[in-house]
């Protein structure tokens, strides 16, 4: 894969997020679909691990524009 074609994506879950679950990630990939596939494939070792980490959750990917001043990720989970 040509490194010049890679982009940065912010992956977020669109469904309910419980305790001890990921809600977002920043991923380098070629497309939004590639970013979502990468995060799911990376953690697909065993059924429990896949469900617990990213599983079949409803995910979306937004390309991060490096020419725009922006906070990429904040995550505050009060308990």
Could you tell me if residue 68 is inside a domain? no
At 43-70, the pLDDT tens digits run: 765 555 545 567 677 889 999 888 888 8
Could you tell me if residue 72 is inside a domain? no
Could you tell me if residue 75 is inside a domain? no
Domains contained in the chain, number: 1
At 21-47, the pLDDT tens digits run: 788 889 999 999 999 998 888 876 555
Q: Is 66 exposed, middle or buried (0-12, 13-18, 19+ CB in 10 A)?
A: exposed
pLDDT recorded at residue 63 = 92
Contact 8, 66 (CB under 8 A): yes
Sheet arrangement for strand 59-63? 24-29, 7-13, 59-63
pTM, rounded to two decimals:
0.72
Which domain range does residue 35 map to? 3-63
Could you tell me if residue 69 is inside a domain? no
Could you tell me if residue 9 is inside a domain? yes
């Amino acid at each position: 894969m040509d490194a010049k074609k890679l982009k940065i994506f912010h992956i977020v879950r669109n469904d309910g997020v419980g305790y001890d679950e990921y809600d977002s990630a920043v991923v380098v990939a070629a497309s939004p679909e590639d970013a979502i596939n990468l995060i799911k494939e990376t953690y697909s070792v065993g059924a429990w691990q896949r469900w617990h980490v990213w599983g079949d959750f409803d995910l979306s990917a937004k390309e991060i524009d490096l020419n725009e001043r922006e906070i990429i990720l904040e995550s505050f989970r009060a308990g």
